[in-house]
Structure 1
Amino acid sequence: MALAVVIGAIGVAVTALLVTGGTVAPASGVVAGGAVAVLGFPATTSAVAIAFAAGGVGVLNKLRGYDLKKISDTHVVLTRS
């Protein structure tokens, strides 16, 4: 249930960003408040940025099938679960 709230909140925020060309970035943070409550602020901002760059939240579902291995502060490796 919490994942549905997160994806929904991120979806609304990303849609607002895509429709306005990114001019409502502060407002999209408010809209994604449900996601912040579940994931925390850093993870939510990362998820919104990833979804915005990909053009939708579908990419977040694809990324759920990967494990993240940290190499350094600036590099990570994704491996299939």
Structure 2
Amino acid sequence: MSTMNISLPDSLKSFVDEQVAQRGYGTSSEYVRELIRKDADLLHLRGLLLKGAASTPAAPVDASYFSTLRERVQNRAPG
């Protein structure tokens, strides 16, 4: 694992320390890693949404679509 040092103003350092204590993180590094993971997930989701918005439209999803989907799922289910 690589190390990265960051400088924070006192107010942000206090905020991080409070979050670590209140949310049960072991260290400030754990808290920052979680924030970075969430940001990466958000960027990935944004990319997927933009890709979907730019794609060609598909057939409309209506009650018939969901009915057919339920039937397909029920037919596959063991039992």
TM-score (norm 2): 0.35
Q: Which has the greater radius of gyration? A: 2
TM-score (norm 1): 0.35
Q: From the two aligned structures, give the one with the greater strand fraction.
A: 1
Structure number with higher relative contact order (C-alpha < 8 Å, ≥ 6 residues apart): 1
Q: From the two aligned structures, give the one with the greater helix fraction.
A: 2
